[in-house]
Amino acid sequence: MIDGIANISVQELRGVGPKLASMLADYGVHNVEDLLFHLPLRYQDRTRVTPIAAAREGNDVVIEGDVRAADIVFGRRRSLVARIQDGSGTLTLRFFHFSAAQKTSLQTGSRLRCFGQVRRGGSGLEMYHPEYRVLQDEKVAVEEALTPIYPTTAGISQNQWRKLCKQALTRLHKEDVDELLPLSDTYPYELTKALQYLHSPPPDAAQESLRDGTHPAQLRLALEELVAHNLSLHRLRERQQEEGAPALPFSESVLATFFADLPFTPTKAQLRVLQEIAIDLAKPVPMLRLLQGDVGSGKTLVAAGAALQAINNGYQVAIMAPTEILAEQHWRNFYQWFEPLDITMEWLSGRTKGNKRISALGRIACSDASLVIGTHALFQDDVAFGCLGLVIVDEQHRFGVHQRLALTKKAAPQLGRAHQLVMTATPIPRTLSMVAYADLDCSVIDELPPGRAPVTTTLIDSNRREEVVTRVAAACRDGRQAYWVCTLIEENDVLQAQAAEATAAELREGLPNLAIGLIHGRLKPMEKASIMAAFKNGELALLVATTVIEVGVDVPNASLMIIENPERLGLAQLHQLRGRVGRGEQASHCVLLYQTPLSANGKQRLAVMRESSDGFYIAEKDLALRGPGEVLGTRQTGLMEFRVASLPTHSHLLDTVQSIANTIRECYPERTDPLIHRWAGSGQQFAKV
Ligand code: ADP
Ligand code: MG
């Protein structure tokens, strides 16, 4: 297939010299097809003149009128102010920077056409720094299409983009752009037509649907972009699979021995998921599996079963957690389970230093350590494994794709890649995981261990804080244990610690007879461990904490949680926090002590928390209320930066996306490269993974 448009270099277009060509190339735009897929972010309507009386605050409009007065005003800032009038009303133009020539052109009596955003100011409707031209007697036509605003980079102006894209459209009339999707009758929108429309929408275009991203032309392109993204993730996966992995056959008896010593019976969901993993591990291709399970669903046990399978085959296992507290919690669990089985364990965190670190690295490198537990420190360059067979990443959304891939490459090269199990207690909405994790197989633990009493959630205005303190104190005196969580928006350890310290001091002063502990991220690991131990064995009744306790902390007797300023946190994070209670048989309570006034969005979000304890439902709501970047965490937003596609707006396309991507893989594999190339450009976007 010779693609006409893709063979025309941008250098053949008018106005493109070597300098612009190289700037465009840096931006991933080499040819006319690249230009056509450089799509506008939004549009301005300069196709009609709006009567001043009909201009609405906040809108970008063209107005036309006569200058009635123009003066330099010396207020807080010197400015040029002109009043213009049409038959319907008057409007004030304000310029804070202006030239002498501008002052002259804005004389009383001049006729102007202006374009700008309408604001409400001291003197009624105003425009700041509008674009304008002085009209002589001639009739000046308005624009014939909506004006596109392109994403751009320093050095390339909107005007340049517009001129280039206009030329690209002319070429599109003569030569076709390759249709790469096998579209059915259910999706008939033509690619050429879609491109034409989006670069130059007619004046009567449905501007609202363009703004929302729901116009059929946008849907057509979003569909293609999502298909390209899906293909690129699958290819990434295929490449990993080509590297091979050690086959780790399953042993029924080893697992049975392990289960026999547990104080509980695994749930059906845990067993099902363990079986899915066991089948993967037995194959000579790397497992890539995402394990989702709500807070408290017992993912650790599943991780242990998987680890056992690898270790039983003579391979090493690495478990990586995002925080030291969580890694320590894993250490304690695994130590208790694996020590009796004579499995050697090693600890590695950022705080493992000096000789300790050297000897730890030694034991990891020569395979003396079968199970290595730690934090980010595990994927540092100088950490080498003798025979790494399985990597388990907990709370995967806190690590970037690169970080988890780096760890699986740490097996000796002749062994191929390590198997990978990524676990998350922040349920990822199906819509999002279909896109962000199309390269992963997915297992879900959809059942909590028996006997868990649900957590009741109450919203209380923070001006009733005293009342809450009194009730917490009473509950603690009755033998209950409680968390008091202080939140800050900043992910700043120092500030968070200070806030928690202040709260703890205040509570201690008000409740001198209560044993109150304090835990935050600035404490030394030993200090944290001893405070957690004191809380766990009941020496402390109330634990004041920062969000460090969000993940992993497991104290079944704690049945009460107060969260201050919950409106500052995302729903997923609140759900995680709340998951620290409701782990025992006692009925548990969570109090969201919010600050007024709450925004409408804030009210809605907290209401979701009160109504539901289903992590998946909460995650879907979170996605709808905050968007995918926030939900996935900043580190992964790069993955979700599409040109046209956006979630959840285009979620309904995802089933079609998957079936089209499958068809391409099966019937038209030769289209994969051009599609990925078309949408990933020079690789600044999703192909980078
Ligand atoms: P999460 O999925 O949030 O990581 P954990 O693995 O920490 O959950 O498990 C939460 C608690 O439930 C732990 O105390 C664990 O020992 C316990 N647990 C796990 N599986 C079961 C089970 N099948 N029956 C009873 N308790 C279980
Ligand atoms: Mg866990």
Contact indicator for 94, 129 with CB cutoff of 8 Å: yes
Give 299 Cα–ligand 2 centroid separation in angstroms.
6
Cα 233 to Cα 236, 238, 240, 435, 651, distances in angstroms:
5, 9, 11, 9, 18
Number of domains in the chain: 4
DSSP class of residue 85 equals E
Tokens of 533: 């131990």
| Cα–Cα distance, 632 to 296 (Å, whole number) | 20
Task: Supply the CATH number for residue 286's domain.
Answer: 3.40.50.300
The CB of 447 under 6 Å from ligand 1? The reply is no
Pocket lining: 585 vs ligand 1, CB cutoff 6 Å: no
For residue 28, being part of any structural domain is answered with yes
584 lines ligand 1 (CB under 6 A): no
Same-domain status, 541 and 521: yes
Q: Are residues 11 and 62 in the same domain?
A: no
Q: Which residues neighbour 669 within 8 Å (Cβ) at sequence distance 6 or greater? A: none
Of residues 100 and 431, more confidence is placed in 100
Pair (21, 79) in one structural domain: no
- Please tell me if the CB atom of residue 264 comes closer than 6 angstroms to any atom of ligand 1: yes
In terms of domains, do 374 and 516 share one?
Answer: no
If one compares 140 and 419, the residue with the highest pLDDT of the two is 419
Is residue 155 located within the same domain as residue 109? no
**Gap from CA of 449 to ligand 2 centroid (Å):** 14
User: What is the per-residue pLDDT for 407?
Assistant: 66
Q: Which atom of ligand 1 is nearest to the CA of 267?
A: 23
Average pLDDT over residues 367-389: 90
For residues 512-539, average pLDDT:
89
For residue 378 the two structure tokens come to 């595990």
Distance (angstroms) between ligand 1 centre and the Cα of 299 equals 7
SS3 at position 200: coil
Ligand 2 center to 140 CA (angstroms)? 67
Query: What does the alpha-carbon distance between residue 136 and residue 485 come to, in Å, rounded to a whole number?
Result: 68
576: Cβ below 6 Å to ligand 1?
A: no
Q: What is the mean pLDDT of the chain?
A: 86
pLDDT, tens digit, for every residue of 583-619? 887 889 999 999 988 888 889 999 999 999 888 888 8
Q: Can you tell me whether residue 508 is helix, strand or coil? A: helix
Ligand 1 site-directed mutation target among 270, 274, 297, 555, most atoms within 8 Å of CB: 297
On whether residue 526 sits in a domain, the answer given is: yes
Helix ranges restricted to H, 106-246: 158-174, 191-199, 207-212, 216-242
User: Cα(430) to centroid of ligand 1, in Å?
Assistant: 24
301 lines ligand 1 (CB under 6 A): yes
Nearest alpha carbon, ligand 1 atom 10 = 296
CA angle 552, 293, 276 (to 5 degrees): 120
Q: Tally the C-alpha atoms within 13 A of residue 219's C-alpha that lie toward its C-beta.
A: 15
Pairwise CA distance, residues 105 & 352, whole Å: 71
Question: Would the CB of 267 count as within 6 Å of ligand 1?
Answer: yes
Q: Residue 136 has which token pair?
A: 């002589």
Kindly give the distance from the C-alpha atom of residue 387 to the centroid of ligand 2, in angstroms, as a whole number. Answer: 26
Asked if 185 and 80 sit in the same domain, the reply is no
Does 326 share its domain with 249?
Answer: yes
Q: What is the 3-state secondary structure of 326-383?
A: HHHHHHHHHHHHHHHHCCCEEEECCCCCHHHHHHHHHHHHCCCCCEEEECHHHHCCCC
Any atom of ligand 1 within 6 Å of the Cβ of 297: yes
Q: Which of 105-109, 395-399, 527-531, 541-545 has the highest mean pLDDT?
A: 541-545
Q: Is 416 in the pocket of ligand 1 (CB under 6 A)?
A: no
Same domain, 399 and 370: yes
Report, as an integer, the average pLDDT of 329-349.
93
Query: 406 pLDDT band (50/70/90 cuts)?
Result: low
Strand runs labelled E in 385-492: 388-394, 419-424, 441-445, 455-461, 481-485
User: Which one of 591, 612, 633 terminates a domain?
Assistant: 612
Distance of alpha carbon 561 from alpha carbon 545, whole angstroms: 11
Residue 579 CA: which ligand is closest? 1
Strand ranges of the sheet holding 90-95, from the earlier edge strand across to the other edge: 119-121, 124-128, 90-95, 78-85, 60-74, 111-117, 131-135
Claim to verify: residue 124 and residue 267 sit in the same structural domain: no
Nearest residue to 229 via CA among 653, 543, 667 = 653
- Residue 560, ligand 1, Cβ within 6 A: no
Q: Is residue 652 pLDDT above 90, yes or no?
A: no
Which residue's C-alpha comes closest to atom 5 of ligand 1?
A: 298
Instruction: Tell me: do 303 and 264 sit in the same domain.
Output: yes
In a domain, 381, yes or no: yes
Residue 533 parent element (H or E): helix 525-536
The finding on whether 555 has its CB within 6 A of some atom of ligand 1 is: no
Average pLDDT over residues 176-188: 75
Position 636 in a domain = no
* Ligand 2: centre distance to CA 405 (Å): 21
- Closest C-alpha residue for ligand 1 atom 9: 298
* pLDDT for residue 613: 86
Question: Which atom of ligand 1 lies closest to the CA of 300?
Answer: 6
Distance CA 475, CA 485 (A): 17
Per-residue pLDDT band for 112 (boundaries 50, 70, 90) equals: very high
Q: Is 266 in the pocket of ligand 1 (CB under 6 A)?
A: yes
For ligand 1, atom 23: residue with the closest CA: 266
CA-nearest residue for atom 17, ligand 1, is 298
275 C-alpha to ligand 2 centroid (Å): 19
User: What is the per-residue pLDDT for 683?
Assistant: 42
Q: For residue 300, how far is its CA from the centre of ligand 2 (angstroms)? A: 6
C-alpha of residue 615 to centroid of ligand 2, in Å: 14
Residue ending a domain, choose from 168, 192, 212: 212
Question: Are the C-beta atoms of residues 110 and 96 closer than 8 Å to each other?
Answer: no
pLDDT at residue 403, as a whole number:
61
Higher pLDDT, 490 or 165: 165
Domain containing residue 258: 242-445
Q: Is the CB of 424 under 6 A from ligand 1?
A: no
Nearest CA to ligand 1 atom 13: 298
User: Residue 296: CB within 6 Å of ligand 1?
Assistant: yes
Q: What is the dihedral angle through the alpha carbons of 450, 310, 307, 370, rounded to the nearest 10 degrees?
A: 150
Cis geometry, peptide bond prior to residue 148 (ω within 30 degrees of 0): no
Quick one: 418 and 272 in the same domain? yes
Which range among 36-45, 304-313, 440-449, 475-484 has the greatest average pLDDT?
304-313
CA distance 455 to 590: 7
Atom 15 in ligand 1: which residue has the minimum CA distance?
Answer: 298
In a domain, 75, yes or no: yes
pLDDT confidence bin for 681, thresholds 50/70/90: low
Please state the atom number of ligand 1 nearest to the C-alpha of residue 556. Answer: 14
Domain membership flag for residue 629: no
Sign of the dihedral through C-alpha 630, 633, 637, 640: negative
> Does 182 reside within a domain?
yes
pLDDT higher than threshold 50 for residue 356? yes
- Please tell me whether the overall predicted TM-score, pTM, comes out greater than 0.75 for this model: no
Across the range 432-442, mean pLDDT stands at 74
Last residue of a domain, one of 83, 108, 135: 135
pLDDT over threshold 70, residue 411: no
Q: Is the CB of 300 under 6 A from ligand 1?
A: yes
Hunting for tokens 């051009």 — which residue is that?
A: 674
CATH number of the domain at 109, please.
2.40.50.140
- Strand duo 371-374 + 316-320: pairing: parallel
Same domain, 478 and 440: no
Residue 486 main-chain phi, psi, to 5 deg: -100, 135
In a domain, 35, yes or no: yes
Q: What are the strands of the beta sheet with 542-545, ordered from one edge?
A: 455-461, 588-594, 558-564, 481-485, 542-545, 516-519
Angular region, 353: left φ>0, alpha ψ -120 to 50, beta rest: beta
